[in-house]
Amino acid sequence: MYYHHIIEGVPKVLLEAAACGKPIIASNIGGCREVVINGFNGILVKKKNSIQLSNAIKKLINNKLLLKKMSVNSRKKALNEFDISKVINKHLAEYKKFKNI
């Protein structure tokens, strides 16, 4: 389970999990919601809610088809949205906006 720090944006650990094709269980908070789409590539739970966390873990353990589907979707999402070249190009585009000011 990942609890974020206020200064952090998108948690790197979630990006790494998605890149590895893992289904993700994370807190339903900013940063995590950018990586995890509830029911698509993982499960979002209320932060610090051990009951929801336990239920999410059990859900994936007991449903191998769902686990596989979320695994595949995590990898696809990582490649489509978080590939390093795409991230760099987005950053460069933002920097160029400031150059024109």
> CA-CA distance, 100 to 65, in Å (whole number)?
50
Residue 86 has pLDDT above 90, yes or no: no
Q: pTM for the whole thing? A: 0.81
Q: Which of 64, 101, 82, 96 is nearest to 20 (CA)?
A: 82
The domain spans of the chain are 12-99
Per-residue pLDDT, averaged over 79-101, amounts to 85
Q: Which CATH number fits domain 12-99: 3.40.50.980, 3.20.20.70, 3.40.50.2000, 3.40.1410.10?
A: 3.40.50.2000
Read off the pLDDT of residues 19-75 as tens digits, 9 standing for 90 and up: 999 999 999 999 999 999 999 999 999 999 999 999 999 999 999 999 999 999 999
Per-residue pLDDT, averaged over 82-93, amounts to 87
